């Protein structure tokens, strides 16, 4: 046997240096809303992506009309990591968006503290399934509207809230999933929301 130990990778750093809280967060939403883009843009580690090239076989199965320039799709999940501060590290899981992979979602939700629902206003009804599943699991979430440049009309967050029938206490933010600082703001909104829920539970007798 060779000296296998010398080939072992460097020791794992479980959390960011000095961090003591790791939170599992999922990013969900319809097909092609930018989930992989968000995880990629905020992750500090090289994100794990399970992208596959879309082929002719998907024609008629996957709804690609609104995302014509898209050439790959997530077939399992994305994984990334970001330290929000010295104490808190988020583990990010991006769900696959195509309907035929939705059966993976319930597994992905296990142990999840909170979720980001990404919304594309050109295809708002694609978000309904994500919101329904999260409500069913009782998983707290925030809604981030990923603004694409070719939106025919720019709807306000209030209009989008109404269209999604979202209660007033669920935070909504605009974002550009391609921009790291914007993605990070979305995650901070979610952590603040989780913190507010935890505080409210603590003060309820
Ligand atoms: N113009 C614009 N393009 C974006 C934005 N966010 C993502 N994109 C592009 O939209 C395409 C789809 O993004 P993905 O991140 O693959 O979407 P996804 O939600 O992971 O897709 P699935 O996993 O297949 O459901 C990519 O080509 C991105 O570069 C955005 O905010 N603006
Ligand atoms: Mg993806």
Interatomic CA distance for residues 98 and 29, integer angstroms: 9
Per residue of the chain (205 residues), give pLDDT as tens: 444 445 665 555 555 455 677 899 999 999 899 999 999 999 988 767 777 777 655 555 555 566 666 778 887 788 999 988 888 899 999 988 877 777 788 888 888 999 999 999 988 888 888 999 899 889 999 999 999 887 778 899 999 999 999 999 999 999 999 999 999 999 999 999 999 999 988 887 7
Interatomic CA distance for residues 113 and 129, integer angstroms: 19
Q: Write down the pLDDT at residue 102.
A: 78
Nearest protein CA to atom 7 of ligand 1, as residue: 34
Please give the torsion angle defined by the CA atoms of residues 114, 120, 121 and 123, in that order, rounded to the nearest 10 degrees. Answer: -110
Ligand index nearest the alpha carbon of residue 48: 2
Question: Which residue out of 26, 36, 146 has the highest number of ligand 1 atoms within 8 Å of its CB and is therefore the one to mutate?
Answer: 36
User: Which is the closest atom of ligand 1 to the Cα of 38?
Assistant: 15
Ligand index nearest the alpha carbon of residue 118: 1
Q: List, in order, residues 6 or more apart from 71 with CB less than 8 Å away.
A: 53, 54
Q: List, in order, residues 6 or more apart from 189 with CB less than 8 Å away.
A: 142, 144, 171, 173
Interatomic CA distance for residues 46 and 43, integer angstroms: 7
Cα 145 to chain centroid, rounded: 12
Q: Write down the pLDDT at residue 168.
A: 95
Cβ < 6 Å from ligand 1: which residues?
31-37, 67, 70, 73-74, 96-98, 146-149, 176-178
**End-to-end Cα, the chain, rounded Å:** 62
Q: Write down the pLDDT at residue 21.
A: 79
Residue 17: HSE in the Cβ half-sphere, 13 Å Cα cutoff:
1
Ligand index nearest the alpha carbon of residue 116: 1
């Amino acid at each position: 046997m060779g000296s296998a130990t010398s080939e072992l990778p460097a020791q794992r750093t479980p959390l960011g240096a000095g961090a003591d809280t790791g939170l599992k967060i999922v990013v969900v939403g319809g097909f092609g809303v930018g989930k992989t883009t968000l995880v990629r843009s905020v992750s500090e580690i090289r994100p794990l992506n399970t992208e596959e090239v879309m082929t002719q076989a998907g024609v008629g199965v996957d709804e690609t009309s609104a995302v014509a320039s898209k050439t790959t799709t997530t077939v399992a999940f994305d994984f990334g990591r970001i330290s929000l501060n010295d104490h808190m590290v988020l583990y990010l899981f991006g769900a696959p968006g195509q309907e035929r992979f939705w059966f993976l979602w319930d597994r992905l939700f296990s142990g999840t503290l909170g979720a980001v629902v990404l919304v594309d206003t050109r295809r708002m009804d694609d978000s309904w399934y994500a919101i329904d599943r999260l409500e069913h699991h009782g998983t707290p979430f925030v809604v981030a509207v990923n603004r694409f440049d070719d939106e025919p009309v720019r709807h306000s967050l209030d209009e989008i809230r109404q269209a999604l029938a979202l209660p007033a206490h669920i935070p909504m933010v605009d974002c550009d999933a391609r921009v790291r600082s914007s993605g990070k703001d979305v995650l901070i909104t979610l952590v603040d929301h989780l913190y507010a829920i935890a505080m409210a539970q603590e003060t309820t007798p």
